Each structure stands twice: as structure tokens, then as C-alpha cells.
Amino acid sequence: MICFFLARADNGVIGVDDRLPWHIPADLKRFKALTMGKPMVMGRKTFESFPSLLKGRRHIVLTRDAGWQAEGAEVAHDVDGALALAGEAETVAVIGGAEIFALFRDRADRVELTEVHASPEGDTIVPAFTAPEWRETFREDQAAEGDRPAFSFVTLERAD
């Protein structure tokens, strides 16, 4: 199964200057719990945005740069190569950025989405996951708190 893991604002923004435009600790905790032990496929910019390797997970980096390499990264240059590196994993976690989500969108089976109920400025956008292609199977709403916006944890399944 190919599963997307992302936080997306109401206006489609997922990032600004190669970082998240919000800080939601519960989202980071959920991301860690849901991706632990899974191979993660990401773009080079996403990989380079991490302060260090994310423990307990493989880092498969999809890049067009044939010479790029980094400690802890398994490098692929196309979608099939990334999936081959993931092997027989029960779930392949696709974690971004926008170009990577676009490359895998037709192959994704599930989306673990944090809907951030705000419209921040940003330079990285992902289109909405809407019916009839997607159906919601889980939702947990969280109220705004201090300077943290309201958000919802949502699971979407491909509608076949």
C-alpha cells in the first residue's frame, strides 16, 4: 500500500521556504507514530529539511540529481526505483514534497492528512483530495489553542 502523510492548510499550502508554516506538536507526534518502521519516500528538499535522520524509518530520496547522495539516504531517480528500494513493505510512506506527491498521486491508496484550518502564506501547494476519487474514513477535530490553528486528523481512502 502507498500512503501519503502530510499536513495541508485550507488554501492548499504545505510549506514555505522548505519548512512547515505552522508548529503543531500533535501532528508531529502522529506523523512519528504512523510512519515508524516504514520506508519513507521523499524528495531531496524534504530530506534536507530534517535536522537529522528520523529514527526507526528508512529514508528513500527521490531526486533528479544523478550525483546526489547523503548519509542515511537511499537514492532513487524515478518512482519505480523508489518503490523497488521499498521492497515488500506493507506500507510505503510518501511524505513529500509537492512534486513527490504529484508523482505518486495516481498510485496512492490512502492519505493520512492533517487539515490545518488556516490559510498561511506559502510556496508549496498540494491540491485537495476530493470525492469521487477519495472518501473520508476517519476524522478527529482539534480546536485552536493559543497561536496554534484548529486542525483535523483525517484518513482518506481511494474510492474504487
Q: Is 145 a domain residue?
A: no
Structural domain span for residue 70? 1-108
Instruction: Specify if 9 maps to a domain.
Output: yes
Helix then strand then coil, % of the chain, to nearest 5? 20, 40, 40
131: cell is: 470525492
Determine, yes or no, domain membership for 121.
no
The reply to whether 157 falls in a domain is no
Is pTM beyond 0.85? Reply is yes
**pLDDT tens digits for 13-49?**
999 999 999 999 999 999 999 999 999 999 999 999 9
Total number of domains constituting the chain: 1
| CATH number assigned to the domain comprising residue 77 | 3.40.430.10
Q: Is residue 98 one of the residues assigned to a domain?
A: yes
How does residue 76 score in pLDDT terms, banded at 50, 70 and 90?
A: very high
Whether 147 maps to a domain, the answer reads no
Average pLDDT, the chain: 97
